[in-house]
Amino acid sequence: MALFSKPPAKKPEAAKPNLKPAAAGTRAPVSAREVAVQAQGRRAVSERPRAQPEGDFTVTGTSLVDWSPMRTSIEVAQANPGLCAVLENAALLYASGQTAPARTMLEQGVQNDADAKVSALAWLALFDLLQRSNDRAAFDRLALQYVVQFERSPPAWEDGAKTPLITAKATAGGYVQLTGKLTAASAPQVDSLRRAMAKATSHARLDLAQVAGFDDAGAHLLADALAEVRRLRCALTLQRPEKIRAALDILLRRGRDAGEGPWLLSLEFLQFDGKQEAFEDRAIEYAVAFEQSPPSWDPPPMPEAEALVVDSPDATADSEERTVGAGVELIAWSGVMTGSATQPMAKLSEYAYAHPVVPIDMSEVERVDFVCAGALLNAINRVETQRKAVQIVGASPIIRALLLLIGISPRHFLKKPQ
């Protein structure tokens, strides 16, 4: 008889779960929708991917999504009318300035992709890009296919509408911005000033904050344009010319060696500043240096006080309130809108304090990048927490696709303000 009992038999241990982390690296987003989901902070799976989108869809900087207690997440609508994978990716390409790849993607999509074929918005976005590239032949060919596909009339070709903006920005409100170094190659930019003056009914604005420098030919171009504005008796406000004016003051100390262009440009600035005494002193110096008669004192008309508009919000897009239609007050944006667009968004919020409905006219907007679209989404969310409405009027189809993708609801888009 054993003095001690046998130890109990050991039970086989259950297999331990594998607690090792998954292989290093996460799957990068492969579609525009995943890029939008990532930027908005949505957990598409249990662990949100941290990788930046690869390829042409790189998004830099932090997310612009505004997290508030009342809205803990922002979902990309899964059934936005007209959106499909082809259109979403094309919208992101265009938002990053890649117009040609976006057009190619849409052209192939409406022919070969089942979802794009039945998406009217994808077709309209392609019409939009063909209009912007001024390709009338391709536009007409697509119009015939559109009629067969949807049994309805296609969009009409608009002569001279939505031509691409290159370096200067002109808007219906009479705003022009010159950028870079002014040289002989800046003639298209300076010509935009003449076009803006032809359209302006009261006065126009010329923003010089982004001018990086000038040579003799570039200064001469701008001086000639300003002289023409004076001869036409148009009211023009020069905005933020301080950098150019300081450079001219230093350069003119060299006398004749400074070149005739800077001298003439300096005289034009004095005309627009209304400084007759300083103008006459410099005109005498010009006559001595170049041995020819200087321009006569003939200042342009001053803009009426009530017509003056605040400075342009930034270098990428102009924003101003205007009255259109039957007394409907709009916030009008135009040009290429990039980055956080702090001042336009601040003006939107400021407008919302005094109005129950905030209509934004985007009919003159050339392009909106991904970051700016996120900033607009945040601004709309803030306005709606005040129990007020935002209406987006006139956004082109390719821009509308981006805004839908980022999470702006279809209910915000109108053909005309209500």
Q: Are residues 341 and 373 in the same domain?
A: yes
Q: Which helix (H) or strand (E) holds 13?
A: none
pLDDT band at 30 (very low <50, low <70, confident <90, very high): low
Closest to 201 (Cα-Cα) out of 367, 335, 324, 313 = 324
CATH number for the domain spanning 145: value is: 1.25.40
The reported pTM is: 0.49
In contact, 220 and 183? CB cutoff 8 Å: no
Q: Are residues 340 and 407 in the same domain?
A: yes
Residue pLDDT, tens place only, 125-184 = 999 999 988 899 999 999 889 988 888 888 888 875 444 333 334 343 466 778 888 898
For residues 34 and 55, give the distance between their C-alpha atoms in angstroms, rounded to a whole number.
14
In contact, 116 and 106? CB cutoff 8 Å: yes
- From 279, 305, 331, the end of a domain falls on 305
- Residue 289 pLDDT more than 80? yes
Q: Are residues 231 and 293 in the same domain?
A: yes
Lowest mean pLDDT among 65-79, 235-249, 250-264: 65-79
* Structural domain boundaries, residue 140: 85-150
pLDDT band at 116 (very low <50, low <70, confident <90, very high): very high
Q: Are residues 292 and 319 in the same domain?
A: no
For residue 327, the model assigns a pLDDT of 45
Q: Are residues 280 and 234 in the same domain?
A: yes
Q: Are residues 297 and 335 in the same domain?
A: no
Closest to 248 (Cα-Cα) out of 234, 237, 259, 232 = 259
Lowest mean pLDDT among 53-57, 214-218, 281-285: 53-57
- Residue 291 pLDDT more than 50? yes
For residues 77 and 330, give the distance between their C-alpha atoms in angstroms, rounded to a whole number.
27
For residue 6, the model assigns a pLDDT of 54
Q: Are residues 226 and 200 in the same domain?
A: yes
For residues 162 and 176, give the distance between their C-alpha atoms in angstroms, rounded to a whole number.
16
100-138: b (≥16 Cβ within 10 Å) or e = eebbebbbebbeebeebbebebbbbbbbbbbbbbeeeee
Q: Which helix (H) or strand (E) holds 393?
A: strand 389-393
Q: Are residues 219 and 245 in the same domain?
A: yes
- Residue 287 pLDDT more than 60? yes
Q: Are residues 202 and 291 in the same domain?
A: yes
Q: Within a domain: residue 273?
A: yes
Q: Within a domain: residue 33?
A: no
For residues 368 and 414, give the distance between their C-alpha atoms in angstroms, rounded to a whole number.
18
Q: Are residues 195 and 239 in the same domain?
A: yes
Q: Are residues 361 and 246 in the same domain?
A: no
Q: Within a domain: residue 237?
A: yes
For residues 366 and 163, give the distance between their C-alpha atoms in angstroms, rounded to a whole number.
9
Average of per-residue pLDDT across 232-238? 82
- β-pairing verdict for 328-337 and 235-239: unpaired
Q: Within a domain: residue 227?
A: yes
CATH number for the domain spanning 359: value is: 3.30.750.24
Question: For helices 120-132 and 136-150, what crossing angle results, to 10°?
Answer: 170
Q: Within a domain: residue 114?
A: yes
Q: Within a domain: residue 97?
A: yes
Q: Are residues 301 and 323 in the same domain?
A: no
Residue pLDDT, tens place only, 176-229 = 778 888 898 888 888 877 777 766 555 677 888 888 889 999 999 999 989 888
The edge-to-edge listing of strands for the beta sheet with 317-324 is 317-324, 328-337, 357-368, 389-393, 413-414
pLDDT band at 13 (very low <50, low <70, confident <90, very high): low
Q: Is residue 153 helix, strand or coil?
A: coil
Q: Specify which of 113-117, 200-204, 304-308 reaches the highest per-range mean pLDDT.
A: 113-117
Total count of domains within the chain? 3
Average of per-residue pLDDT across 226-255? 87
Lowest mean pLDDT among 6-15, 173-182, 303-312: 303-312
Closest to 88 (Cα-Cα) out of 31, 14, 21, 20 = 31
Q: Within a domain: residue 241?
A: yes
Q: Kindly provide the residue ranges of all beta strands, DSSP E only, lying in 15-104, ordered along the sequence.
A: none
In the chain, the largest separation of any two C-alpha atoms, in whole Å, equals 135
Tokens at 209, concatenated:
């904050």
Q: Specify which of 28-42, 174-188, 320-334 reaches the highest per-range mean pLDDT.
A: 174-188
The mean pLDDT value of the chain amounts to 74
- Residue 330 pLDDT more than 90? no
CATH number for the domain spanning 186: value is: 3.30.750
- Residue 400 pLDDT more than 90? yes
- From 284, 305, 326, the end of a domain falls on 305
Q: What are phi and psi of 265, to 5 degrees?
A: -65, -40
- From 281, 305, 329, the end of a domain falls on 305
For residues 131 and 270, give the distance between their C-alpha atoms in angstroms, rounded to a whole number.
42
- Residue 233 pLDDT more than 70? yes
Q: Within a domain: residue 267?
A: yes
pLDDT band at 416 (very low <50, low <70, confident <90, very high): low
- Could you tell me how many residues make up the chain? 418
